[in-house]
Chains A and B, each alone.
Chain A
Amino acid sequence: DSGVTQTPKHLITATGQRVTLRCSPRSGDLSVYWYQQSLDQGLQFLIHYYNGEERAKGNILERFSAQQFPDLHSELNLSSLELGDSALYFCASSVRSGGGDTDTQYFGPGTRLTVL
């Protein structure tokens, strides 16, 4: 158990809908990262938050957004869902960011999103 929790574990929804995925980092970790894992694209970085502020964006669609709250949990919002958004979404956390042992990322169990 990494100490990172994600809810829900599974999510099934229809095209055009909006969903919210939740992540609670390990105690003491300030950084939260979101990744998408799909069969065709593999594991891809979406977005990084550090202590409530957005730090970096990867291949995140405009229909997707995220935020990190004062208690450091994070939410990933996916809207206008398409079939191709079906994937496993991981959250990871680290103590800080910028290099070094404190930046080792620990992953949650993931949320499997199925868009029908």
Chain B
Amino acid sequence: AQSVTQPDIHITVSEGASLELRCNYSYGATPYLFWYVQSPGQGLQLLLKYFSGDTLVQGIKGFEAEFKRSQSSFNLRKPSVHWSDAAEYFCAVGLYGGSQGNLIFGKGTKLSVKP
């Protein structure tokens, strides 16, 4: 069955430090992969997406992610974290084909930023 695993429930980093959030997926076909961010009390905002082509994708707010097929991973990175990045981050895989089009989400990683 398709699944998405985010191994880290909660991560704390210092402001200005680099960040990497891990995501592993299980999916039989070519995956469509997404990262969304949810600030407290807010909806989900799309950070970036991978459909095909270049395996390093750039997103909004200075985030990037790298698709590694051999490792079934799609890790999110940011070189220098800002206090406003504190939020919950969700990795998702799109189930496409036939009439399907829904997303399977990981459990999320909550990011705290120390001043």
Binding site for B on A (CB under 8 A): 2, 31, 33, 35, 42-45, 48, 50, 55-56, 58, 90, 92, 94, 96-101, 103-110
Contacts and interface: CB of A to CB of B under 8 A. Distances in A.
A96 B41 CA distance: 28
A20 B106 CA distance: 27
Contacts of B100: 48, 55-56, 97-98
Given A31-B101, A94-B101, A109-B42, A100 B90 contact: no
Contacts of B49: 101, 104
A33 B45 contact: no
Given A35-B103, A98-B96, 8 more contacts: A33-B101, A42-B105, A43-B90, A45-B104, A48-B102, A50-B101, A104-B34, A107-B44
Contacts, number: 79
A71 B49 CA distance: 29
Interface of B: 32, 34, 36, 42-46, 49, 51, 90, 94, 96-108
- Among all A-B residue pairs, the 8 with the closest Cβ atoms: A97-B101, A99-B96, A43-B105, A107-B44, A45-B102, A109-B43, A55-B99, A107-B43
23 contacts: A33-B103, A42-B107, A44-B105, A45-B103, A50-B99, A50-B101, A55-B100, A56-B101, A92-B44, A97-B100, A98-B97, A98-B100, A98-B101, A99-B51, A99-B94, A99-B97, A99-B101, A100-B51, A100-B96, A103-B96, A105-B34, A107-B44, A109-B42
A101 B46 contact: no
Most buried by B among A50, A55, A99: A99
Given A90-B43, A90-B44, A107-B44, A33 B102 contact: yes
Contacts of A108: 43
Contacts of B96: 97-100, 103
A107 B102 CA distance: 12
B99 A97 contact: yes
Contact of A55 (B36, B43, B46, B101): B101
